[in-house]
Structure 1
Amino acid sequence: MDNDLIEFHTTAFDTMEARLAASLLPDEDREELVRTLLVPFEAFDKSIDFIRRRHRPNPNGGHSRGRVVGLLGEIRSGKSWACMHYAGRFPMRVVDGNKKFPVVYVPVPGSPTVKSVTTLLQKRSGAHSVTYHNADDAKDASVERLQRAEAELVMFDDAQFMLFHRDAHHFFDLFKRIVDTNRMNVMLIGDKSIYDYMDGNGHLRKRGGFAKHYVPPIIKNGAAFGNLVRSIDKRLPFRTPSVLGEQHVINDLWKISGGVIGLIMNLVADAAIMAIADGSDTLGLKHLQLEADDRFQEDTYKYFRVPMNSGETVDG
């Protein structure tokens, strides 16, 4: 598995030539650009900076170790993509024939078990196969695998599923074993309930005081939100700019998302793939309308319709 991470698309198509070249790529490649589109914005940059400080606070020194830290926030606020993007900066390397993984990213299943989590942990740090006998052996094998991989930072994404679960005592023990090596840090990523768990758990909280960063949504439909949406448009693989730059579209994206980036990208990505499929030169209102109508049938408000006083056409 080798820490199977997304290779993100972050490059803006700032010229007509760049847009044209992107629009002429095979549909499958264009769809992949849409699915992996990532716009660095203020909350994202702050998350990356926090992760960096909790991993390698001094670029000319060593890595931090023996700490449990947290990256917390609402669902779809961009935590996972920040973590995967950061982990991608530290790819697997081979030293004397051995695979080394400085950053190990583990996406926690919705119903985690000791077997499922330790199997993921070992495979994402270079194990070719995993044999499970019992919980204690699996935890021992996971820590040994991380040490052989010379892991420096181990990320558990959606860690709240581990902490409020019948196997929570095993996962507590796993975290403790990892940080007790004093060779790496553990980062717990997820919603704010993780703080509640840590606040009541002195054994882990005292391992570094649980330094944490909260990832907020954008707080208002203002210039920052409009710039974010327009930055998404600059990275879409279409011949011409899309309707994302229009203020009424930005307003509706705000109503839908409340500033949560993941909710915006869910809708825009599906609409953009629809536009690629029907051969459109760009992402239009009709694509956004169909995606919104499929999602929000219960709403009396109809999203992405042209305001009556705008004088624009409605066929997008």
Structure 2
Amino acid sequence: MTSSAALSRAEAASLSPGERQDAMANIFVGHDRFTEAMDAIKRFHMPVNGGRPDAGAVGVLAGESRTGKSYALKMYAHDFPAYQGEDGMIRPVVYVDMPSEGGFRSVLQAVADALNVPHTKSMDNGTLDKLIRGALHAQRVQLLLLDEFQEVFDTSKKAMIAHGRGFLRKILNLGTLNILCAGLLQTYEQMAGDPQLTGRGNLPYKIIRPYGWANEDEKKLFRLLCDRFDDKLPFATRSGLRREAIAHRLHWVTNGNIGRLKTFIYQAGCLAINDASDQITTVHFAAAYDSIIPLGSKFHPFRDDMSRAPVPKEEKDRVEIAANGNALTKQVG
């Protein structure tokens, strides 16, 4: 696969259609939300620059889906690869994606697999739990990253929450590592209401938010983000994504969510490649929105004036949360 990042704009535009499609699908844009997430993870892992890893605390990285939490966690874990020690494998940072099905047993299996702990179907949960804790200690794990943790702390699964709480507490009792749980905003709310967890390091947290538009600083950051995407697109000319008229519409469609922004640009970009266009135009964005427009919607951001645009429900929810003084508006770090 050819990386368009190493090519000039003209060279990237001359790639085959499939290569250009891959280039768009694999675009990574460094942005302030990613930097915030990485810095928060680093401070939780190593609170003192040049110091030692912290241990015995649980923290939370929370935010809406597709705001870049998982990517940051994976990148951080990638910076601390496993290596062969004198007595076996050493895994300083371990990333685990929590399964959405299978109950607490599947959670244990996911953690065991990340640590390369062998297990069988006949093995009971207590034994597997003990093996996991033994591996965490033997492999000198400093930081355990548990992604999609809302699958464990789900109010509709009270038994799962009880098992998850006990699992975290037993690991923290080792006194050798920290645990960072990442998930939706509700994840923090559920964990913050549990004194058994807040008592383990005061539950430090970081909320990763989508970009706003009403705030001028947020608007500038979002337009800069659009510009960085534009800079990496495999087209002969820039698509003008930073222009306020275009960026405003992109923000409305994606609600300032970087994951959705990337997907929507990709969808419009595919249409532009099919048209042999030198850039993504509003015609392509309009056609891309046609395929995702909510049923019954009477507003089209790429055909109607933005003065007619309704406030997206998610934006209303964010305003309501801020107005109510919800704890999630208080960012740490």
Instruction: Specify the TM-score bucket, using the shorter chain as the normaliser.
Output: 0.7 to 0.9
Q: Could you tell me which residue of structure 2 aligns to residue 197 of structure 1?
A: 190
Larger helix fraction of residues: 2
Change (3 A) 1:44 1:52: same
Q: CA deviation at 1:280?
A: 4.4
Equivalent-residue separation in structure 2 for 1:83 and 1:44 (angstroms): 10
Task: Rate the CA distance shift 1:121–1:267 in 2: closer, same or farther, 3 A.
Answer: same
Q: Secondary structure at the match of 1:99?
A: strand
State which of 116, 135, 142 in structure 2 corresponds to 1:126: 116
Alignment partner of 1:70: what SS?
strand
User: Does the 8 Å CA contact 1:126/1:149 hold for their aligned counterparts?
Assistant: no
- Contact 1:104 / 1:153 at 8 angstroms: preserved in 2? yes
Tell me the SS of whatever aligns to 1:46.
Answer: helix
In 2 relative to 1, CA 101–272 (structure 1 residues): closer, same or farther, beyond 3 Å? farther
Per the alignment, do residues 60 and 288 of structure 1 end up closer, same or farther by CA in structure 2, a change over 3 Å counting?
same
Query: Post-superposition shift, 1:208?
Result: 0.3
Deviations for 1:254-287, whole angstroms, at most 9, x for unmatched residues? 1112222222122122333444466544333343
- The whole-number CA distance in structure 1 between the counterparts of 2:286 and 2:197 is 48
Q: Which position in structure 1 is the counterpart of 2:325?
A: none
Letter in 2 for 1:251: H
- Name the residue aligned to 1:313: none
In 1: Cα distance, 2:256 partner to 2:206 partner: 18
**Deviation sequence 1:53-87 (CA, Å, 0-9, x none):** 00122342221111100111222222222222222
Aligned to 1:173: 166
Asked whether the equivalents of residues 227 and 240 of structure 2 are also in contact (C-alpha less than 8 Å), the reply is no
Q: Please, which of 205, 211, 217 is the counterpart of residue 218 of structure 1? A: 211
State the match for 1:292 in structure 2: 289
How many aligned positions are there?
295
Could you list the runs of 5+ residues in structure 1 that have no partner in the other structure? 1-8, 308-316
Partner residue of 2:99 out of 97, 103, 109? 109
**In the alignment, which residue of structure 2 is the partner of 1:64?**
54
Give 1:226 shift.
0.8
Deviation of the 1:238 alpha carbon: 3.0
- 5 Å-filtered alignment, 1:40-59, equals 40-59=30-49
Mapping of residues 129-278 of structure 1, within 5 Å:
129-132=118-121, 133-164=123-154, 165=157, 166-220=159-213, 222-276=219-273
Contact 1:248 1:306 in 2 (8 A): no
Deviation of 1:113 after TM superposition, in Å, equals 1.9
* Structure 1 position 44, deviation (Å): 2.1
When the two chains are superposed, the root-mean-square deviation of aligned CA atoms in Å is 2.7
- CA drift at 1:306: 8.8
Contact 1:99-1:126 within 8 A present in 2 as well = no
Moved more, 156-165 or 88-97: 88-97
Instruction: Name which of 280, 289, 301 aligns with 2:299.
Output: 301
Is the Cα contact below 8 Å between 2:94 and 2:141 reproduced in 1? yes
TM (norm. structure 2) is 0.78
SS in 2 for 1:295: coil
Q: Say which SS state the counterpart of residue 302 (structure 1) adopts.
A: coil
2:72 — aligned with what? Answer: 82
Equivalent-residue separation in structure 2 for 1:107 and 1:118 (angstroms): 11
Q: Distance in 1 between matches of 2:198 and 2:267?
A: 41
Q: Structure 2 unaligned runs (5+)? A: 306-333
For 2:53 and 2:175, the matched residues in 1 are separated by: 11
After superposition, the Cα gap between the structure-2 partners of 1:182 and 1:215, relative to the gap in structure 1 and judged at 3 Å, is: same
One-letter amino acid matched to 1:302: H
- The one-letter amino acid of 2:42's match is R
* Separation in 2, partners of 1:142, 1:237: 46
Aligned-partner residue type, residue 90 of structure 2:
K
**Residues 12 and 231 of structure 1 are in contact (CA less than 8 Å); yes or no, is this contact kept in structure 2?**
no
Q: 1:237, 1:85 → 2: CA distance?
A: 25
Aligned to 2:280: 283
For residues 134-159 of structure 1, give each alpha carbon's deviation from its aligned partner in whole angstroms, at most 9, with x where no partner exists: 22122222222323332211111121
Q: Structure 1 residues 161, 21: CA separation in 2 closer, same or farther (over 3 Å shift)?
A: same
TM-score by length of 1: 0.82
